[in-house]
Structure 1
Amino acid sequence: KMGGSTYGFQVGSTFKPFTAAAALEKGITPATSFSTDWKITLKEQDFRNCTGSPAGYADWPLQNELESEKG
């Protein structure tokens, strides 16, 4: 459940402008790309929700839709 001050909230979108500003200050432009693997697995991580309660402990596979979509 998400509900702002009632349940807490994820901060990802809140941090985006600060991350973008820091990158621009370092000379990283919106057109900059980085080479990364297209598929990773976060091994046995203890994930927590915005209230600090356990949200799961497991491998979490992540990938782009296509192998050609890297980064």
Structure 2
Amino acid sequence: MMEERNGVDMKCHNDVVKMFDKICIDVNKFDYALKYIYVLNNLCVKIGDSKKIIGAMHTTCSPIDRQYL
């Protein structure tokens, strides 16, 4: 997952990045997170289902954690 890949599923990637920004980390506020956006693309390539990835974000990135960012 941490290796950069060339394959891109743009719909999945766009959906996952948008929700990552809303659920986990505001990438406009913490631009360091942009360095790792390729991992989200790798998840799309590997899993192929944005709903599963976004569901995992809801589980992993709780609203309580976000208040400290």
**TM-score bucket of the superposed structures, by smaller chain:** under 0.3
Higher relative contact order (Cα pairs below 8 Å, separated by 6+ residues)? 2
When normalised by structure 1's length, the TM-score is 0.26
TM-score relative to the length of structure 2: 0.26
| Greater helix content | 2
Instruction: Specify which structure has the higher proportion of strand.
Output: 1
Computing the radius of gyration over CA atoms, which structure comes out larger, 1 or 2?
1
